[in-house]
Amino acid sequence: MILARAAVLAIATLAVASPVLASESQPTLAELETEVICPTCHTTLDQSSSPVADRMRTFIRSRIAAGNTKAEIKGRLVENFGEQVLASPPKKGFNLLAWVLPPVAAVIGAAVIGMLAVRWSRRRDGHDGEEPVGVAEPDVEQQIDDELARLDA
């Protein structure tokens, strides 16, 4: 049973990994256009129609035809235009914060919301240290009813 699960997991992993590896070694213009930003209009190449974006597309096509990998093509673009040409920051150095901080902030935010929800539910149940409001005594209830009747008349 365990071997069967391990085999299924291995096959699923290979099925997912194969397209990723193929994408790296044989990139397409369409996928690189979504990962590279035009330096003049600051949008991805698939959304840009500037002359610089057209030259970048021509460069990418020529590098794909020459057999370069996705990493090599992006590396050449970074050499020419700087790291700001990448749609996502590289996962190293100071840029690693852009990848780490959002999930950390989400976890902290969820924890804070959870703690507040517990606190709010305790208050609603009357467990916040205050005495719960009880039922009024019969003579006080009669006075309230009399006053309400007088106001209605």
The packing angle between helices 51-65 and 70-81, to 10°, is 140
> Which domains are present in the chain?
2-88 (1.10.8.640), 97-152 (no CATH)
Contact criterion met (CB below 8 Å) for 39 and 81: yes
Q: Which pLDDT tens digit goes with each residue over 91-141?
A: 777 777 877 888 999 999 999 999 999 888 887 665 555 555 666 687 888
DSSP state, 135? P
Question: Per residue in 56-91, pLDDT tens?
Answer: 999 999 999 999 999 999 999 999 988 889 887 777
DSSP 27-74: --HHHHHTTBB-TTT-SBGGG--SHHHHHHHHHHHHHHHTT--HHHHH
